[in-house]
Protein backbone atom coordinates (compact mmCIF):
# COMPACT_ATOMS: atom_id res chain seq x y z
CA UNK A 1 0.00 0.00 0.00
CA UNK A 2 1.39 3.37 -1.04
CA UNK A 3 1.53 5.96 1.71
CA UNK A 4 2.05 9.63 1.08
CA UNK A 5 3.14 12.43 3.37
CA UNK A 6 0.68 15.31 3.33
CA UNK A 7 0.60 18.62 5.14
CA UNK A 8 -2.49 20.81 5.26
CA UNK A 9 -4.25 23.28 7.52
CA UNK A 10 -7.24 22.04 9.51
CA UNK A 11 -9.30 24.74 11.23
CA UNK A 12 -6.29 27.05 11.32
CA UNK A 13 -3.86 24.42 12.65
CA UNK A 14 -1.10 22.92 10.51
CA UNK A 15 -1.29 19.11 10.21
CA UNK A 16 1.28 16.69 8.77
CA UNK A 17 0.36 13.04 8.27
CA UNK A 18 1.28 9.92 6.35
CA UNK A 19 -1.81 8.50 4.69
CA UNK A 20 -2.58 5.68 2.27
CA UNK A 21 -2.99 7.16 -1.23
CA UNK A 22 -6.53 5.74 -1.51
CA UNK A 23 -7.81 7.12 1.82
CA UNK A 24 -10.58 9.72 1.72
CA UNK A 25 -10.44 13.07 3.42
CA UNK A 26 -13.50 12.05 5.43
CA UNK A 27 -11.69 9.14 7.05
CA UNK A 28 -8.47 11.06 7.60
CA UNK A 29 -10.38 13.87 9.32
CA UNK A 30 -12.39 11.53 11.56
CA UNK A 31 -9.87 8.77 12.27
CA UNK A 32 -6.52 10.55 12.17
CA UNK A 33 -7.43 14.11 13.16
CA UNK A 34 -10.29 13.44 15.59
CA UNK A 35 -12.69 15.69 13.66
CA UNK A 36 -15.77 13.66 14.52
CA UNK A 37 -18.02 16.61 13.67
CA UNK A 38 -17.52 15.46 10.06
CA UNK A 39 -20.17 12.78 9.60
CA UNK A 40 -20.35 9.93 7.13
CA UNK A 41 -23.70 9.60 5.43
CA UNK A 42 -24.01 7.92 2.05
CA UNK A 43 -20.30 7.60 1.21
CA UNK A 44 -21.18 8.49 -2.39
CA UNK A 45 -21.26 12.29 -2.34
CA UNK A 46 -25.01 12.72 -2.66
CA UNK A 47 -26.23 13.50 0.88
CA UNK A 48 -24.00 16.44 1.93
CA UNK A 49 -23.48 15.07 5.45
CA UNK A 50 -19.68 14.98 5.16
CA UNK A 51 -19.36 18.51 3.72
CA UNK A 52 -16.27 20.50 4.69
CA UNK A 53 -14.79 23.67 3.25
CA UNK A 54 -11.74 23.07 1.08
CA UNK A 55 -10.05 26.38 0.34
CA UNK A 56 -13.38 28.00 1.21
CA UNK A 57 -15.53 25.86 -1.11
CA UNK A 58 -17.95 23.21 0.16
CA UNK A 59 -16.94 19.68 -0.89
CA UNK A 60 -18.08 16.18 0.00
CA UNK A 61 -15.12 14.88 1.97
CA UNK A 62 -16.10 11.28 1.15
CA UNK A 63 -15.19 11.98 -2.50
CA UNK A 64 -11.87 13.77 -1.94
CA UNK A 65 -8.77 11.62 -1.70
CA UNK A 66 -6.67 12.81 1.22
CA UNK A 67 -3.51 13.46 -0.84
CA UNK A 68 -5.50 16.10 -2.79
CA UNK A 69 -5.57 18.38 0.28
CA UNK A 70 -1.80 18.72 0.54
CA UNK A 71 -0.97 22.40 1.01
CA UNK A 72 -4.62 23.36 1.24
CA UNK A 73 -6.99 24.71 3.88
CA UNK A 74 -9.74 22.51 5.36
CA UNK A 75 -12.46 23.88 7.65
CA UNK A 76 -14.95 21.75 9.55
CA UNK A 77 -17.90 22.91 11.64
CA UNK A 78 -15.57 23.29 14.63
CA UNK A 79 -13.47 25.71 12.59
CA UNK A 80 -16.28 28.27 12.48
CA UNK A 81 -16.26 28.71 16.27
CA UNK A 82 -14.26 31.42 18.00
CA UNK A 83 -13.03 29.58 21.09
CA UNK A 84 -16.16 28.49 22.96
CA UNK A 85 -18.39 30.98 21.11
CA UNK A 86 -20.61 29.67 18.35
CA UNK A 87 -20.59 31.29 14.95
CA UNK A 88 -23.75 33.40 14.30
CA UNK A 89 -24.90 30.81 11.77
CA UNK A 90 -24.63 28.07 14.40
CA UNK A 91 -26.54 30.27 16.86
CA UNK A 92 -29.26 30.83 14.26
CA UNK A 93 -29.64 27.07 13.77
CA UNK A 94 -30.13 26.64 17.51
CA UNK A 95 -32.51 29.59 17.84
CA UNK A 96 -34.70 28.44 14.94
CA UNK A 97 -34.81 24.76 15.84
CA UNK A 98 -32.99 23.91 12.62
CA UNK A 99 -30.83 21.26 14.27
CA UNK A 100 -33.15 18.37 15.03
CA UNK A 101 -31.13 15.16 15.27
CA UNK A 102 -28.04 17.12 14.22
CA UNK A 103 -26.66 14.59 11.75
CA UNK A 104 -26.95 16.84 8.69
CA UNK A 105 -26.23 20.04 10.61
CA UNK A 106 -22.46 20.34 10.03
CA UNK A 107 -22.86 19.98 6.27
CA UNK A 108 -25.83 22.33 6.17
CA UNK A 109 -24.04 25.01 8.17
CA UNK A 110 -20.84 24.84 6.12
CA UNK A 111 -22.80 24.97 2.88
CA UNK A 112 -24.77 27.96 4.21
CA UNK A 113 -21.56 29.64 5.38
CA UNK A 114 -20.13 29.43 1.84
CA UNK A 115 -23.39 30.78 0.40
CA UNK A 116 -23.47 33.76 2.79
CA UNK A 117 -19.85 34.63 2.02
CA UNK A 118 -20.69 34.72 -1.69
CA UNK A 119 -24.17 36.20 -1.36
CA UNK A 120 -24.63 38.00 2.00
CA UNK A 121 -28.37 38.60 1.51
CA UNK A 122 -29.74 35.61 -0.38
CA UNK A 123 -33.34 35.02 -1.30
CA UNK A 124 -35.26 32.03 0.03
CA UNK A 125 -34.81 30.46 -3.42
CA UNK A 126 -31.03 31.06 -3.28
CA UNK A 127 -30.84 29.27 0.07
CA UNK A 128 -32.92 26.35 -1.16
CA UNK A 129 -30.70 26.01 -4.25
CA UNK A 130 -27.53 26.16 -2.17
CA UNK A 131 -28.59 23.45 0.28
CA UNK A 132 -30.19 21.22 -2.38
CA UNK A 133 -27.30 18.75 -2.09
CA UNK A 134 -27.74 18.37 1.67
CA UNK A 135 -30.35 15.86 2.81
CA UNK A 136 -32.25 16.24 6.08
CA UNK A 137 -34.71 13.65 7.34
CA UNK A 138 -36.01 15.63 10.34
CA UNK A 139 -36.89 19.26 9.63
CA UNK A 140 -38.59 19.55 6.28
CA UNK A 141 -36.03 22.29 5.53
CA UNK A 142 -38.24 25.24 6.51
CA UNK A 143 -36.46 25.82 9.82
CA UNK A 144 -33.08 25.40 8.16
CA UNK A 145 -33.89 27.99 5.49
CA UNK A 146 -35.30 30.34 8.15
CA UNK A 147 -32.12 29.99 10.23
CA UNK A 148 -29.87 30.75 7.26
CA UNK A 149 -31.92 33.81 6.32
CA UNK A 150 -31.87 34.99 9.94
CA UNK A 151 -28.09 34.63 10.05
CA UNK A 152 -27.86 36.73 6.89
CA UNK A 153 -29.57 39.51 8.82
CA UNK A 154 -31.52 42.41 7.45
CA UNK A 155 -30.82 43.59 3.96
CA UNK A 156 -32.09 43.31 0.47
CA UNK A 157 -31.47 40.26 -1.65
CA UNK A 158 -29.41 41.19 -4.70
CA UNK A 159 -32.13 40.13 -7.12
CA UNK A 160 -34.91 41.76 -5.12
CA UNK A 161 -36.86 38.51 -4.62
For residues 90 and 102, what is the distance between their CA atoms, to the nearest angstrom? 11
Q: Where are the beta strands (DSSP E) in 31-155?
A: 51-54, 57-60, 73-75
C-beta of residue 127 within 8 angstroms of C-beta of residue 146: no
State the span(s) of the chain assigned CATH 3.10.20.30. Answer: 3-78
Which stretches in the chain have pLDDT values below 70?
156-161
3-state secondary structure of 120: coil
Q: Write out the CATH class of domain 88-152.
A: mainly alpha
Question: CA end-to-end span of the chain, whole Å?
Answer: 54
Give pLDDT, residue 83. 87
Give pLDDT, residue 100. 85
Give pLDDT, residue 139. 76
Give pLDDT, residue 156. 65
Positive or negative torsion for Cα 46, 48, 52, 57 = positive
State the span(s) of the chain assigned CATH 1.10.150.120. Answer: 88-152
Give pLDDT, residue 128. 97
97 burial type by CB count under 10 A (0-12 exposed, 13-18 middle, 19+ buried):
middle
Q: Any idea which fold 3-78 has?
A: Ubiquitin-like (UB roll) (3.10.20)
For residues 31 and 22, what is the distance between their CA atoms, to the nearest angstrom? 14
Amino acid sequence: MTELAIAFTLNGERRALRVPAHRTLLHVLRDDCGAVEVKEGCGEGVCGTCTVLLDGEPVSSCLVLAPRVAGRDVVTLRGLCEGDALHPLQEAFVAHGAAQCGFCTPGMILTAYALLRERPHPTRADVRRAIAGNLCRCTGYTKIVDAILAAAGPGEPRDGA
